Amino acid sequence: MTETPHHDVTGRGPVLLLVPGGSGHPMGLGPLTERLATRFTVVTYDPLGLAHGRLGGPVAEQRVADWSEGARRVLDAVLPEGESAYVFGTSSGGIAALDLLARHPGRLAHVVAHEPPCVTVLPDGAARRTELIAQLDGPGRPPAEGGSATPSGVFLARVLRPFTAYAPTGAPPAGRLTIGFGGDSRGQLLHRTAELLAERLASACVAFPGGHLGTLDHPVEFADRLAETLCSRARTSA
């Protein structure tokens, strides 16, 4: 039997699966989760188990498909058969959410992917990806393994390169996807990426509070905007 990936559940209401960014460690998402839990059953997915005692162990280079299939197994564990869930993913978690929607649309009511760094969709995507990796993965990278390992080290060593190479193919079912971007990100690389993704995937494109780390910097306002987006899309699809 395949083991269900690490996850935590809190709150009451419709199921909302959260897929964190970076290495998938949900650090700092407590205030966001607490706010959302007043309206949703919040399921926080930890794809590498880093928040559940596995930080410091060996980590292979990650694949988007593995994260999305793990998310599907989490949903199978918490979601009754025949029901569908909301999904929110940010950054690398947004990429996993896009792949989950492509693979298992029948289990998802609506997906919000916030600033997924799918920069290869841009006309100059290869160059922008090279610049992004160089900007983030500079000298002094924290370790990915061992006693001093950090989630950021795991992200830079094992997640950044394979995930930024991902490009979604094919439009999702109508009305099932919203691409989010930070209001403070306007004019920046990931804002341009979000707009082009939304155009290619025929989805809505919605501004959220803050920038790329709006979930951490403005958790209450971000949670309220997310809930509003999900509920309004649900009404439109009904």
Burial class (CB in 10 A: 0-12, 13-18, 19+), 173: exposed
Q: How many CB atoms lie within 10 A of CB 14?
A: 17
At 170, is the pLDDT very low, low, confident or very high (cuts 50, 70, 90)? confident
Contact by Cβ (8 Å): 105, 173:
yes
pLDDT reported for residue 138:
84
Kindly report the pTM of this predicted structure. 0.96
Query: Residues 189-227: pLDDT tens digits?
Result: 999 999 999 999 999 999 999 999 999 999 999 999 999
C-alpha pair distances (Å), 164 with each of 67, 124, 128, 183, 187: 14, 14, 10, 22, 19
Q: Are strands 41-45 and 7-11 parallel, antiparallel or unpaired?
A: antiparallel
> How is residue 233 written in tokens?
């899309």
Domain definitions of the chain by residue range: 7-237
Q: In degrees rounded to 5, what are phi and psi of residue 9?
A: -125, 135
Contact by Cβ (8 Å): 200, 206:
no
Angstrom distance (rounded) from CA 60 to CA 200: 31
Phi-psi region of 132 (alpha: psi -120 to 50; beta: other; left: phi over 0): alpha
Query: Residues 104-151: pLDDT tens digits?
Result: 999 999 999 999 999 999 999 999 999 999 999 988 899 999 999 999
Report, as an integer, the average pLDDT of 175-187.
Answer: 97
Contact by Cβ (8 Å): 78, 16:
no
Strands (E), the chain: 7-11, 15-19, 41-45, 85-90, 108-114, 177-182, 204-208
End-to-end CA distance of the chain: 37
Is it true that domain 7-237 has CATH number 3.40.50.1820?
A: yes
Look over the chain and give the mean of its residue pLDDT values, rounded to a whole number.
95
pLDDT reported for residue 45:
98
